A and B are shown apart, each in its own frame.
Chain A
Amino acid sequence: MGCREECWAKMAAMMKAFPQRLVDLMFLRAVSTSSMGTLPKRVKIVEVGPRDGLQNEKNIIPTPVKIKLIDMLSETGLSVIEATSFVSPKWVPQMADHTEVLKGIQKFPGINYPVLVPNLKGFEAAVAAGAKEVAITGAASELFLKKNINCSTEESFQWFDAVLKAARSANISVRGYVSCVLGCPYEGKISPAKVAEVAKKLYSMGCYEISLGDTIGVGTPGTMKDMLSTVMQEVPLAALAVHCHDTYGQALANTLMALQMGVSVVDSSVAGLGGCPYAQGALGNLATEDLVYMLEGLGIHTGVNLQKLLEAGNFICQALNRKTGSKVAQATCKL
């Protein structure tokens, strides 16, 4: 506090001496660097490997392997693990065993196991299978919604309304996702105002948290900052999460920017599982190991044991017969 006051006093003195433009620049520089000192003390990591990660993997994983992965993740200290998606196997064959997975995993106390639900039918099936938390997906792009789930923004809002009402009656928490927040594979650029509109809708309807997803990983720290500045005016910071894909290698830098702006919930995927269906050969989610490495280095508490996480990542990569997408895992592996 004393340091900041000293800083302002210095600024005031300098303002008298320097031309206005220079002062503006110095002020802005001070602001931009001082924002680095306001990182959250704790970050909640939402592990989406078993769902967002696996659903983008080509090889179909047997149910017992999925269950073992989730059980291993449950022992790492992670407090939220997205287990599966109650979507039709016609669309996402990887998630066909959603009921068996949700019923088969060990549900450790203190850990949430949300599941994605695309419609009311999926929601009901999830509840019947024991789900205590669900996640629903909106998009900041009209075209993406049309191509992905064949409906308009307005129609998607009606669906949100239906599921949130049902969830309220059943005492089930709902997390909202917004896709394409930094760019859309169909529309290209996405305006922060549109993201804010969808996020606000989901939040005001009752989602406890809104995860803002850079679905195709095109974002950079600048676009992340612009988007968050706008969304933060409509949704409280504490209810926001970022979900960065690493398609262009920007995920960790974008996540750092989000943390600097006060976001304290980050989605990631063990071993950086998942591809990107819009860019063949491209990598998908931010790797949880690399995220934890950065957060630990920043002195931010995550509660996650990196070693156990590496073991879970190693397990699933062997099962998938693929190389890890995590650089931390790559560096620590013994060839």
Chain B
Amino acid sequence: MGPNPKMRKEFFDSTRSSPFPDEVLERVLSLLKSHKDRSAVSLVCKDWYNAESWSRAHVFIGNCYSVSPEIVARRFPRVKSVTLKGKPRFSDFNLVPENWGADVHPWLVVFAAKYPFLEELRLKRMAVSDESLEFLAINFPNFKVLSLLSCDGFSTDGLAAIATHCKNLTQLDIHENGIDDKSGSWLSCFPENFTSLEVLNFANLNTDVNFDALERLVSRCKSLKVLKASKSISLEHLQRLLVCAPQLIELGTGSLMPELTACQYAQLENAFNQLKNLSTLSGLWEASAPYLPVLYPACTNLTFLNLSYAFLQSHELESLLCQCPHLRRLWVLDTVGDKGLEAVGSNCPLLEELRVFPADPFDEEVIHGVTEAGFLAVSYGCRRLHYVLYFCRQMTNAAVATIVQNCPDFTHFRLCIMNPGQPDYVTNEPMDEAFGAVVRTCTKLQRLSVSGLLTDLTFEYIGQYAKNLETLSVAFAGSSDRGMQCMLEGCPKLRKLEIRDCPFGNAALLSGLEKYESMRSLWMSACNVTMNGCRLLAREMPRLNVEVMKDDGSDDSQADKVYVYRSVVGPRRDAPPCVLTLSGL
């Protein structure tokens, strides 16, 4: 992300080149929103660097350890909005210990001094404590937007502090966090004169909130656009909320389980009928067939339907999809089966994104879920598909080849054949040709997750063809170091590479020496990398942080988990004992 040494020298030498005053330049640059564009702009010359720095209102930090809050504040004095990401993605799957780091507090302390008017904070995979949330709530009077995704370390007490003190809050988005859900009383902490809320997402909390407080809150926040309720909200409650907020654009229902009388059912149907602007529908916990029709009136304008917590069967899905002619994004459980996916193919011609999650990932006893047939069916009907996440138990090379023929515009292709190292179940061959077809055909591919039985050939294909690939996830694949070498030597735009349980060793690790500084990070776990290999890497590349975590009882020389990332601030000082920081010494 920072300029490389060659560029830095050049622009420090340049003379002033702007034909117009700084203020004009700043004004023009302030219209630039993309941080990639802004980074490019900042490399043009010193004046543009300064103007860009002064006009940047939103800063995105993809790895909290790549830079320090002091450096950020020094460079960007007028930031109003920060996005910060912490732990490696595999922490989502319990591969990273809880005390690993990524504590947001040091950032907040600096921000309180340098950005007292900070308005927005979006955190992903950061460690957040209740103290930090309270600190945030008290020290930033203009604070408006808080989004916590996959964070952990806090409880509902922290939410209570936010609700109590943030008078200007417009968004509170608490999504899939490791939160200590003590009680729902935090919701009652919003003051009675508080009316600014536009987004409220507490879908993944379990404890009951005071419904009356919620109803009053929803009634008085006339700008509320997004409401994602938790399971504890019953259908009766939902009906009352919808009556208060017919202007909702995104709705996450509570539980669809409880029984209603005919009269209550009619009222609920009526409430859904009022939601003329609904574009996103989610929640639907415990969705059962009897109550799905109640949603139909609100489905006309739906573009995103998240059924990933609803155990639906194929015919139930089909009936629902018939009501959603404009659907662009669909998330489902594999309980709908191939038949359900056929219905998707038939009813969703505008579909761009499909995610199919396994309802029962650990039960291999009986074949169920979805197969290549379902994916094929979708590809025939949904030619605009460009994002897929697909969990299945069987796949063939031929099917994948056909799928990408039908949908050549994939930007994100994440295929998870759940049994590790499983071959094409028809031909018994490796799945190399499948992913070869993907990278050859889908020239816009940015993100790829591979699975199944794969040899080095897959990675030769990837290195050769995946010119736009930025994120690559590999598990239980490859035959030798050559596989990883191909990835590192090809793929010019590679930024994030995560590998687990592959036979790649030191030679593979070290073949990427030049590459890692242009990447955000590399993760390798349960591969064949040793401590010596890691030490060598650390010695050769002083601007990389090389961190190793060892598993219980493993050989002293093995580097069980390796996390390598570029940083301008050197090794981190807050690493817990289980994280070994290797330096060149």
Q: Do A and B bind each other?
A: no
The residues of A with any CB-CB pair to B shorter than 8 Å are none
